[in-house]
Amino acid sequence: MLLFKRAESPLSFKDYQKDDGFKALRCALSKSQENIIQIIKASNVVGRGGAGFPVWIKMDSVRRTQEEKKYIICNADEGEPGTFKDRELLYRNPLKVIESMIIAGYTVGADEGYLYVRGEYDYLKPDILSAIKQCETEGYLGNNILDSGFSFKINYRSGSGAYICGEETALIESIEGRTGDPRHKPPYTAQEGLFNKPTLVNNVETLINLLPILNLGPDVYRTYGTETSTGTKLFSVSGCVKNPGVYEVQFGTTLKELIDLTGGIRSGLKIKFVQVGGSSGVVLPKNMLDITLSYESFKAIDSGLGSGAIYVADESVCIVDYLMATSKFFEHESCGKCTPCREGNRHISRIMTKLSNGRATQNDLLILEKTSHVMVQASFCGLGQTAPNAILSCLKYFSEEINEHLKSKCPSGVCKLGGDVHVN
């Protein structure tokens, strides 16, 4: 049984109600805020944005603030390369997203929410606005929702294509009309977020998990997944697989089992590596495919699941070219606010280009590793702290192939200069 079924008629209000639509909201409105927090706590659900932080703690922090005005932000910016799970939820189940935002607002005492959607997803805007309008017409949004005395409204905002706005404080800056640069912490968003008011920020998948928790109960919800990583997870699978797409599996499923669900490698070649968590995630060799998809398993290898993006590469992919592409991406997306990230990404990109062209030295690799560690420890926000993850994991697991490039050779034969690289 899956927790997130695709809606056959995603914009049909009546069909949504027939399929238990707004059942969770009615359940929530019949309970106290503290009671809902305890239910969420009992489910052991954690955020699906990458950090794996307990959802109930974040919500309770906002609930306990004494401010009269509070906000909910649903983060649908989803700028991590290879991640498209939230897009599917918005496309297939926009009413579920709205319902989960209303529940979150009621739970923390917020009367207004913002749905911040990645600019490239603007084609979804008409349907989302239509779903919001239907909820207002039917009495599920606006003043005195279902005669409960609770009022809530949702505003739609489009992002402008900046990867950094996936970071919650940069996203808040963007909503307020400024450049999306991350803020200093503390104060944290739970105390001073949007317009300096207490704000709960969660991504689409995190908020939608409130629905099965309330509909099924926390005890049933915990039967999915592992003891520490409860429930199911949506994974965006791309790369050299036969059927790329979004897959929902229970936590505890192995990486190999997930890849098998896609039909395996489309080229007929063997798997070379898998990157888990998007471009800022760890790169794992084929002998680690039995690792379970859970927060505890990835914590054991000093990594995380990130946004749930899975990129599968076959033997034709050059690890150096792949790393050069990701380093160029982070060099471009760095906001430049802090020196470790701004200069670190620039140096990494330069060294990776040299390595791909057959001009790098052993000293370059030492600088590459040292720069990466400095970025992880000293960068201002998550972009700079996670950008070197792929580099560090490849230096660990693919050192032999990387060292071959120091000899002006590409084992995969697909580098920019191809095969044996001739250096003038």
Q: What is the mean pLDDT of each run of 10 residues along the chain (424 residues)?
A: 64 86 97 98 92 92 96 95 94 95 98 96 95 96 97 95 91 95 93 97 97 97 96 96 96 97 93 95 96 94 91 94 94 94 96 90 96 96 94 95 87 57 31
Determine the pLDDT at residue 422.
31
Domain ranges of the chain: 13-221, 232-314, 319-406
Report the candidate in 390, 391, 392, 387 with the shortest Cα–Cα distance to residue 163. Answer: 387
Class of domain 319-406: mainly alpha
Determine the pLDDT at residue 211.
97
Determine the pLDDT at residue 189.
96
Is-contact 4 93, C-beta < 8 A?
Answer: yes
Determine the pLDDT at residue 164.
92
Determine the pLDDT at residue 357.
86
Is-contact 208 90, C-beta < 8 A?
Answer: no
Is-contact 266 241, C-beta < 8 A?
Answer: yes
Class of domain 13-221: alpha beta
Determine the pLDDT at residue 409.
79
Determine the pLDDT at residue 197.
98
Torsion sign over Cα 337, 339, 50, 121: positive
Determine the pLDDT at residue 410.
81
Determine the pLDDT at residue 263.
96
Strands across the sheet containing 245-250 = 245-250, 232-239, 309-314, 271-276, 282-285
Kindly report, residue by residue over 374-385, the tens digit of the pLDDT. Answer: 999 999 999 999
Class of domain 232-314: alpha beta
Omega prior to 186 cis, within 30 of 0 = yes
Burial of 96 (0-12, 13-18, 19+ CB in 10 A): buried
Residue 273 phi/psi, 5-degree rounding, is: -155, 165
